[in-house]
């Protein structure tokens, strides 16, 4: 599997560290109720098919939001987190 880094282009999967689903982009406000934090930290849609998740490109230090298919492993997009919010 190769992933897209917005800085470096298509790169080998071994250069990336996986973080998790793009739920991590939706951090609750600090005084949000505990349920909101539970959703953010633990509960997942866990899609079979089209998915967006966060990866770190180790060599250049960019956090990337990858769009890919969890069944075929086809990767279609890689965006900076700032642009993916």
Partner 1 sequence: MRFNAWQILKQGLSGNRGWHPHWRKPDPKPDYDAIIIGGGGHGLATAYYLAKNHGLTNIAVLEKGYLGGGNIGRNTTIVRANYFLPGNSEFYSHSLKLWEGLEADLNYNVMHSQRGLINLFHSDGQRDAFARRGNAMLAQGDDAILLGREDVRKILPYLDYDQARFPIYGGLYHKRGGTARHDAVAWGYARGADQRGVDLIENCEVTGISVDQGRVTGVTTTRGQIRARKVAIVVAGRSSQVAAMAGLRLPIESHILQAFVTEGLKPVIDHVISFGMGHFYISQSDKGGLVFGGDLDFYASYAARGNLPGVEQVMEAGMALMPMIGRAKLLRSWGGIMDMTPDGSPIIDRTPIDGLYLDAGWCYGGFKAVPASGWCMAHLMATDEPHPVARRFRLDRFATGDLLDEEGTGSQHNLH
Tokens of 67: 């769009």
Binding segment for partner 1 among 43-51, 57-65, 77-85 (CB under 8 A)? 43-51
- Cα(38)–Cα(58) distance, rounded to whole angstroms? 28
Determine if 58 is a binding residue for partner 1 (CB under 8 A). no
Residue 26 interacting partner from partner 1, Zn ion, none (CB closer than 5 to 8 Å by kind): none
- Cα(51)–Cα(45) distance, rounded to whole angstroms? 9
**Of the candidates 71, 58, 50, which has an alpha carbon nearest to the alpha carbon of residue 18?**
58
What's the closest the beta carbon of residue 19 comes to partner 1, in angstroms? 6
Determine if 39 is a binding residue for partner 1 (CB under 8 A). yes
Q: Which of residues 7-36 bind Zn ion (CB under 5 A)?
A: 7-8
Tokens of 55: 């990866």
**Residue in 14, 29, 30, 82 binding partner 1, rule: CB under 8 A:** 14
């Amino acid at each position: 599997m190769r992933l897209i880094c917005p800085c470096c282009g298509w790169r080998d999967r071994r250069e990336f560290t996986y973080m998790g689903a793009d739920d991590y982009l939706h951090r609750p406000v600090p005084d949000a109720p505990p349920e909101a934090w539970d959703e953010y930290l633990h509960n997942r849609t866990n899609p079979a098919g089209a998915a967006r998740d966060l990866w770190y490109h180790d060599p250049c230090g960019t956090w990337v939001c990858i769009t890919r298919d969890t069944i075929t492993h086809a990767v279609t997009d890689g965006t900076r987190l700032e642009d993916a919010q």
